[in-house]
Structure 1
Amino acid sequence: MKNPFLSTQAQQPPNLQTKLGYGVGEMSSEVPGSVLTFFLLFFLTNVAGLNPTLAGATLLVGKVWDALNDPLVGWLSDRTRSPLGRRYPWILWGAVPMGLVFALQWWVPPTSSQTGLFIYYSAIAFLFYAASTMVIVPYSTLAAELTRHYDERTSLVSYKAAFSIGSSIVGLVLAQLIFAAISDPRGKYLTTGAICGGIATIAAFLCVWGTYQRFREIETERSQIERPTMPPFWKQIRLAFGNRPFLYVIGIYMCSWVGLQVTAAMLPYFVVNWMGLPEQHFTQMALAVQGTALVTMPLWGWLGRKLGKRTTYCLGIPLTLIAQAGLFLLQPGQVALMYAVGVLAGAGLATAYLVPWSMLPDVVDLDELQTGHRREGIFYGFVVQLKKIGAAIALFLVSTLLAWSGLVTGGADQPVTQPESALQMIRWLVAPIPSVVLIGGLVLAYLYPITRDRHQQILMQLHEKRSVE
């Protein structure tokens, strides 16, 4: 249904090329992101031979640095003026360095020194996250710039979410194929990193190609609206955190991804150490989760348009909570049940990909009504930043708890037997502890105040404000 408070061009839904182009851009984040989430901690401790505490510190250093970049790049992209617009120059300049440095993340330097390994992987993380921020934050803001319609944003973000899950599947399938083809443990991780880094770079360029025409059409209309001068960076921070619905969105997003990433990081330990299965079962389990999330995404997108974003999230996440309880209760030998639990987890997981990102553009509209500025970059930068800080702290605590529990590390060719204390810690970290965080996200989603009717009122007030101006 058309909205009378949107411009003629903004009323037209984005075409298939725009939606596919926007979706493909998610591969630049999620193909490397899924490999990092599922494999990096395991790689650092079990292949590179880094102590779990130092491995966790490496992740913390990289993520905190990455998080510091996000609002700054968002703010800078808001202020960028170029023939290609505000966002695209950042994506184009960051794409190639992002892919190259990602490959180096999976190389094991010729040193057995724990200090040397820590310095190397921390430095690589510093460079990788600097380049990836240049791509991911400007790319993410496009959701608020390619359409202004409440339900069309859900549709557009459903493509992003589908590609996000699909990208994770691509990364996992590639890893499984490479792991089967290459016997050398170090070689298979390096090959996976190089291929996934190349895919991420190509995806960024394809996103620019697929979305640029639609962006220029919308941006031409926006450029005719006179905007007041942007306030200083620190004042923009205060304004952003004075937006109450924004606080709900970042809370929902942080709870979703902290909870899910802790489970994902622990999954290889759970499958290999607790269930006693070969490594290929881990990738197959992850594929079961992500594949189900991809298949159920159209259903959740449809429900989002029918029932609203808040209700959809509150229906989906409980499925993941039930699945996490099932993981905690699983015993070695219950392989079929393990995969069934993975399918149930994936069905709920889809809403964590879909709902928070579709809420955020509505928050940007409210901010424009309150301040007179379109500040997509600062909002998206903060969401990405706070998610990364939360995930980094959580993973650091996870690695510290694993070390405290007596987890035995080893190099690539040194199979180890874990003590009972480590096995029980793995069980608690894969399910009950992240479940508590997800429950927090459910509470925040229930309280989120921007409904479809409220968003319609925001657009009406914006229309009236512009008419007066």
Structure 2
Amino acid sequence: MDRLAFTASGTASGLVTNGVSYFLLIYYSQVIGLEPALAGSALLLALAFDAVSDPLVGRWSDRFRSRLGRRHPFLYAATLPAAASYYCLWTPPDLSQPAMFLWLLVFTITLRLAMTLHTVPFNALLPELAPDYDRRTRLMNYSYAGAWFFGTAIAVAMYLWWLADTPDYPDGAGILRRSGYEQAGLVTAAGVGLCLIAAAIATRRHIPNLATPPPGAASVATALAETTSTLRDRSLIAIVASTAFTAAASGTATAMWAYMQPWFWGFESSQTSTILATQLASPLIAFSLLPALSRGRDKKVLLIQVSILSMLAGSGPVILSLLGAFPPVGHAALFPLMTAIGVVQVSLIVMGGAISASMVADIVDARAVATGRREEGLVISVLSFTGKVATGMGVWIGGVLLSAIALPTGAAAAGIDRATIDRLGWLYGPVLALLYLIAIYALSRYRLSRHRHEENLAALAANGGTGPGSYRSGTSRGDPT
């Protein structure tokens, strides 16, 4: 049941993330007719609100007391608002420009807040449901594999089904079909709601065995002191910094995807769609490989290796192409080679995300030994906050790179000279590599090992589930995996 719960939770996140990231801006700016600057501003404001809400929800769920425990009231409360707001985003009425801006802003904020109410408390269950060093990695593997597989599947379905060309929308104009977005919005909203409620129900049986916070609310001064103490943890700083630069690299690559495929690599739209479709295999590959790769090994070492390979897969082909050591544009080997590299790259991203989340759970146990406080929500929300902000920074970096080469607005690939395209590559490849190198260096400062984690579990067991503090922790171990 725990495996089902984490798969369902990850799937809901993947459906929402890919729907919003890939299609929401173009839908409102090109189909609905909202001024692009207004649409972009609404999405940016919603992202800022979302990032700030993460640590607040995390801290709140750490201290919340109810007969349903600390986390599950948030999980149940998130379900209906998430599904309803997602559907409303894709079915706006005919409104004026200011009113449409408010519609987009309000429902995007509602959606992001609802997903935060689920994601942060749900992932905060991980340290208690899976104390074992390897089992928590396996559970997060289910979550990340579900997110990437179904998130990619909905994007592929959009292009092949809901936004496919029709007699009324020929020659690539299917992307402008409003009815397609509305139908996809309904189906996806239903899927999100079902996944969120399934994740909550599947983990409800653990409630009696989960930690209970002490009665009474902490003073503001105490809360700030505890939060500051946690944020100074060196292993947490290391994993947060590593996550920040990895997410910035991922955000940059995502923002540049639509530019690099047709212009730098010379791929047609059908080839780009094929590359995206083949990446459906990536979560399955990661899901199959990670348990074997992580067995008996320290997570820090494994994540460094995954990060190095991610850097090589992301920036290597670009740099090699510029140096003349890679199949040139139009070569028969280029498309299958880049397709294979894309599958490998996404597989590495999925594995890296699962390992990082598992390492954060190890930090929670170390903090419990040191302070006696169960701060899963706060610690995990810091990672979530960092990832969201850094991904946004990656998109900004992509914009800076495009401005630096003075890319013509609205130009077709054939209309851009090769020198301009090469300048884009010389900026993109090294910048991506630099972001990964900084992430790897930060990760090298992480201190927790498999042996240290086992010592922490022994200390927690000797103190009834915590260190010297006042939280009671249960003995839930979940179902075997």
SS, match of residue 380 in structure 2: helix
**Aligned equivalents of 1:53 and 1:409: distance in 2?**
16
- Cα distance in 1 between the residues matched to 2:328 and 2:192: 38
Where do residues 374-389 of structure 1 align in structure 2 (5 Å cutoff)?
Answer: 374-389=374-389
Q: How does 1:24-423 map to 2 (within 5 A)?
A: 24-40=8-24, 57-106=41-90, 120-176=103-159, 177-180=161-164, 183=169, 184=174, 185-187=176-178, 188-213=180-205, 215-219=206-210, 222-223=211-212, 230=218, 232=220, 233-324=223-314, 325-327=316-318, 329=321, 332-333=329-330, 334-399=334-399, 401-402=401-402, 405-409=406-410, 419-420=416-417, 423=421
Structure 1, residues 311-331: CA drift from partner, whole Å, max 9, x if none? 211222222222222146375
- Say if 1:136 and 1:319 are closer, same or farther in 2 by CA, change over 3 A: same
Instruction: Select between 449-458 and 195-204 the one with higher mean Cα deviation.
Output: 195-204
CA distance, structure 2, for counterparts of residue 111 and residue 303 of structure 1: 53
Q: Larger deviation: 185-194 or 144-153? A: 185-194
Deviating more after overlay: 194-203 vs 356-365: 194-203
- Residue 408 of structure 1 aligns to which amino acid in structure 2? T
Distance 2:414 2:39 in 1: 20
Task: Indicate conservation of the 8 Å contact 1:93/1:134, yes or no.
Answer: yes
Q: Which moved more, 1:154-163 or 1:369-378?
A: 154-163
Kindly indicate whether the alpha-carbon contact (under 8 Å) linking 2:364 and 2:376 is maintained by their aligned counterparts in 1. yes
| 2-structure distance, mates of 1:126, 1:35 | 15
Query: Greater shift after overlay, 323-332 or 244-253?
Result: 323-332
| Other-structure match for 1:454 | 452
CA contact 1:67–1:385 (8 Å) conserved in 2: yes
Deviations along 1:278-331, one digit per CA (max 9) or x if unpaired, are 545434323333522431333222221222211211222222222222146375
Deviation at 1:383, TM superposition (A): 1.2
Deviation of the 1:394 alpha carbon = 2.7
Relative to structure 1, the CA distance from residue 426 to residue 40 in structure 2 (aligned partners, 3 Å threshold; closer, same or farther) is farther
Aligned residue number for residue 462 of structure 2: 464
- Could you tell me whether the CA contact under 8 Å between 2:149 and 2:280 is conserved in 1? yes
SS of corresponding position for 2:279:
helix
CA change 1:35–1:438 in 2 (3 A) is: farther
Q: Which amino acid aligns with 1:451?
A: S
Unaligned runs of 5+ in 2: 322-326, 469-481
Distance of aligned partners of 1:106 and 1:228 in 2 relative to their CA distance in 1, 3 Å threshold: closer
Q: Does structure 2 retain, via aligned residues, the 8 Å contact 1:146–1:218? A: no
CA RMSD in angstroms, aligned pairs only: 3.3
SS in 1 for 2:296: helix
For normalisation by structure 2, the TM-score amounts to 0.81
Q: Which amino acid aligns with 1:357?
A: A
Separation of aligned partners in 2, 1:432 and 1:61: 30
Q: Is the 8 A contact 2:146 2:283 kept in 1?
A: no
Q: Is the 8 A contact 2:137 2:358 kept in 1?
A: yes
TM-score of the two chains, using structure 1 as the length reference: 0.83
**What displacement does 1:83 show?**
2.1
1:269 and 1:196, CA in 2 relative to 1: closer, same or farther beyond 3 A?
farther
Determine the C-alpha separation between the residues in 1 that align with 2:347 and 2:368: 35
More displaced stretch, 245-254 vs 322-331: 322-331
Aligned residue type for 2:409:
V
Mapped partners of 1:121, 1:202: distance in 2 = 24
Whether the 8 Å CA contact 1:296–1:350 is kept in 2: the answer is: yes
Amino acid at match of 2:317: G
Tell me the distance in 2 between the aligned counterparts of 1:124 and 1:429.
Answer: 36
Q: Could you give the per-residue CA deviations for residues 103-125 of structure 1, whole angstroms, max 9, x where no partner exists? A: 34446775796x77655544443
Give the counterpart letter for 2:207 in structure 1: R
Q: 1:33 Cα deviation (Å)?
A: 0.9
Question: How far apart are the structure 1 equivalents of 2:450 and 2:216?
Answer: 28
Identity of aligned residues (%): 22
Contact 2:298 2:450 in 1 (8 A): yes
Look up the equivalent residue of 1:207 and give its one-letter code: A
Deviates more, 1:347-356 or 1:99-108: 99-108
Pair 96,466 (structure 1): closer, same or farther in 2 beyond 3 Å = closer
Return closer, same or farther for 1:397/1:323 CA change in 2, 3 Å cut-off: closer
Alignment match, 2:471: none
Contact 1:227/1:373 (8 A) holds in 2: no
Alpha-carbon shift at residue 173 of structure 1 (Å): 3.1
Deviation at 1:67, TM superposition (A): 0.4
8 A Cα contact 2:55 2:382, kept in partner: yes
Deviations 1:126-176 (A, max 9, x none): 232122211221122121231222222122222222222222233223223
**For residues 430-463 of structure 1, what are the alpha-carbon distances to aligned partners after superposition, in whole Å with 9 as ceiling and x for unaligned?**
6442332222222222221100111112222333
Equivalent residues of 1:304, 1:311 under 8 A apart: no
- In structure 1, stretches of 5+ residues that fail to align are 1-16
Partner amino acid, structure 1, of 2:209 = I
